[in-house]
Structure 1
């Protein structure tokens, strides 16, 4: 019995090694280089002429439960009055653009922005500028659409703790019939430790921020990291930057389906793959079913049970943290007991993934 199980899993492995990952994130930055590496050697480009306090990768990376960039690679310390860098992605001018990242603020001053988005027409024309300013014993996040001065940044009401890691998501929505209208809104979501990030919240920290005296971005095509004024800018560590077109893509790297109820049973390729140490696994159920999702090594030994319960019809995403498992190829298998198939009975689908340290 053991030998047949081993042969079965090795057969699955031989078929599935040629896996293509359908990554559809516009940008991913996990600062995977060694500590001390200049960020300009990793696809980031100087913005402006200031080369003091060059941005260099630091260690360790940040963690936030459920976020794909958690614990991957290292991180980036940022101070003030120094080098600013940008990294480009495929320009987009419709729907929404989601910019997400983990951030840990150790010092906050009077308020300045440290990250922004830019259009292809002018990399230094910053949109969706995220600010941090001191508030009581902690700090608050604020938003500027562009370079408006009257009223300054709009700040949220949550006072965040210094030296704690938060997940921040900025959503810029293109709403006008053409570029350069005045009504594109920006939402900012802020999540503390233990928060559920599986779905986009109904109430943002900063909701529908619109400045009708500033033209909208014609498109968005780059992320800028900025070290601002020495009297106003925060001291932070940032990590796990993602740019995507949907909340689901931000978490899984795969575009969400248009229909809320899928037509067929399916198990998607995990993302990222290869991964270290965690990865997201997405599956679809056309009807409510008792589902089991397990992870095995190539010898057929069970490593983890990720799902073992009734699940509603729809798309589901779970994560596997392989922190305690060695590098190698793993098999994950989804079984759903009450999904009808052409042959009747249970539906089973299996894929492989690679943990690479």
Structure 2
């Protein structure tokens, strides 16, 4: 479908409309923090080592620092300071190990079983490995040290504890390679994962999976033993030419001398689907249900399960324009109109239906996703246990969509609402009159609507006061709802919060000014400032309120149950402007924007006191040029021009604050802020 061009309607004594030039819009990348971590593209550049944990990943940059992403349970994706001087890494289930150039080990994450208590003397280590509840280190004297839990006999390193040259860990079993090429295996052996096949000779590398083991022979062949329930012992033919191996939970990877990767075993999450082109790989690693590979040019490929963001963003992490809040998922909209959904996929909520094009907005529920198309129709997918994916007819004329627990709201172009899905608490029973709405939001079991007059209407479950809007119920320009609390953004840039406040999620930090966007999480809240910084408050479990530095350049945000996410633009600088710049001596001034907030368009009324050429530009709050229009030579007098919320490519832009600037040929200018609320 061809996308409509941006619409500017200029009304004046002598109507003049010129073509809006197509101007490039800077891309935004996703950044996530808290229980799940997403890093920006440049963080994955210049890596020299990789290690996959069960549901997260570690990389060493060429400057010796560690980059981590994916699950952040117990802070496993938050490397401790000072983050320098690392030579090797190992990711486990709940803990991480970093080997420094001085031979000491740094451990972080869960220490429930002492798996982070590196034994003294913490010196002379040359290799590390991490199991589920235990850790391993290889000393320069070729001995192995094990710490953490000994529940499966992990501490019982086979004697003599000498002559080891490498180590590997399975979930509950340990592997050590001796200098003469034999393998020692110990620990849990319920599936024969410690029964090394004969002849136990000529091994050059080892890998441990959940309940199976791999060994690479000097002749380039692979030997596998232990559990075979998922075909992890069924070696691919020809079993030759391998130079490296990795074992995941129930799958394996083998690197060939020609730089290609062979994968086999469980493929329930696509962890064996090596992305094309399958060439030039030099490093590989496997997690529980995902895989990693690094190419000769330093690029990193990640595939398989992304339920904990361990695949980071499964497409290039650029070009994102908006992100919607969710419990387990974050649906993210790209500037090309496609949607990428991060997080768990147990109900297919990440499987965007084809064609994945022409979307202008998206929202998330508890196990389902909804997307608004440019033609005004809504697409819904994922869990349909309460009919939340059955969009009511006629499926036309929608301008906004919101997702709750198991229900959805749609806003029509005429200002009316449509609700469908679960109605156990009346969250889908629309208030009367269902008119004059300009924005919508959903909590788990309550709904919110913003009226054109700046008031909020709320209905549904109100056990914690999440539907009791504080007085005065006026001047609101945006609204957000989650589990048991709600947020409203006022036209003066302040935030009002109400509902449950057990974790301080309603205690907006001072100074409560200059906010331009809001998002409710389950137990925390986020606010975006006009300067591009994010403020977070409420429960900080897993660090979801710890906004990563530099806390600048953000243009969108969303809060979830376990994590927070933002879109960061790398454009710099905003036009210097006040709310409205129009001193009495100017030859150009903006008289009004109506409506403001607006959806889908706003009418700009302005005056020219001296005839001349005028240009209108629209910027977002990060300073990105959204669109520019030469209005031509205008006579003195009053004029009007309408902006319909599209960029220069004809694509609907995301909700947020935009800066409209009129410039005259004589250097005069006037600017005004416009708030788009979809």
Q: Which structure has greater strand proportion?
A: 2
Which has more radius of gyration? 2
Q: As a proportion of its length, which structure holds more helix? A: 1
| Same fold? TM cut 0.5 | no
TM value normalised by structure 2: 0.19
Which structure ranks higher in relative contact order (CA pairs < 8 Å, sequence separation ≥ 6)?
A: 1
TM-score, normalised to structure 1's length?
Answer: 0.31
